[in-house]
Amino acid sequence: MEEGQSSNEKRKVMVAISESEYSRHALEWALEYFHDMFVDAEVVIFNAQSTKDYSYVYAYAAGVTSPELLTTIREKQQNTSTALLEMAKNICEKYGVQASTACEVGDPKEVICEAVEKLKIQLLVVGSHGRGAVKRALLGSVSDYCINYAKCPVLVVKKKA
């Protein structure tokens, strides 16, 4: 039992998901291998809506992009996130696990770690893309960042090739 946790307080587990097959695999793997822990835990499925690749925001700030385009893109992103979280929640239900969902906008690695702290998460589960060292260095790695900065243990699930 965690320090400061009462005997009838549920453990808090967060699974960070994205549109990648790797995060879906991580969710299903964790539900299968740690089923008993997940059934008895407060499970949060978390999605970070990345702002990394949206040059339209800069174009909008410079007055080149219309507000309508920005609104349409944000709505599409929100709809995608909602569908993704709903799909993950349905996967949890197939395993008999009740889960809540949460979503934040920002750099995924940062908002995941912020959510861990804000929600007092005790275990974070993330998938790994299995990139080599060079690609990780160039593209960054959400799982590497979380291992180093999340304020809880991090389970990184790799998908076999």
Q: Which CATH number belongs to the domain containing residue 148 in this structure?
A: 3.40.50.620
Q: Is residue 7 part of a domain?
A: no
The full DSSP string for 83-143 is HHHHHHHHHHHHTT--EEEEEEES-HHHHHHHHHHHHT-SEEEEEE----HHHHHHH--HH
Which structural domain, as residue segments, surrounds residue 27? 12-158
Q: Is residue 5 part of a domain?
A: no
The whole-number average pLDDT for the span 115-129 is 94
In angstroms, the Cα distances linking 125 to 25, 74, 138 are 11, 27, 23
Alpha-carbon span 138 to 119, nearest angstrom? 30
Q: Is residue 100 part of a domain?
A: yes
> Structural domain tally of the chain?
1
Q: Is residue 1 part of a domain?
A: no
Q: Is residue 78 part of a domain?
A: yes
Q: Is residue 64 part of a domain?
A: yes
Alpha-carbon torsion angle 30, 31, 35, 41, nearest 10: 90
Q: Is residue 4 part of a domain?
A: no
Question: Which residue's structure tokens are 């929100």?
Answer: 78
Alpha helices in 20-66 (DSSP H): 21-33, 35-39, 55-61
Q: What is the pLDDT of residues 34-50, one digit of tens each?
A: 999 999 999 999 999 88
With b meaning 16 or more CB within 10 Å and e meaning fewer, what string describes 13-35?
bbbbbbeeebbbbbbbbbbeeee
Q: Is residue 143 part of a domain?
A: yes
The whole-number average pLDDT for the span 80-101 is 95
Q: Is the pLDDT of residue 4 over 60?
A: no
**pTM score of the predicted model:** 0.81
More confident site: 131 or 87? 87
Most confidently modeled of 47-61, 64-78, 90-104, 119-133?
A: 90-104
**DSSP summary character for residue 63:** T
Question: Which residue's structure tokens are 């059934």?
Answer: 39
Altogether, the residues listed in the chain come to a count of: 161
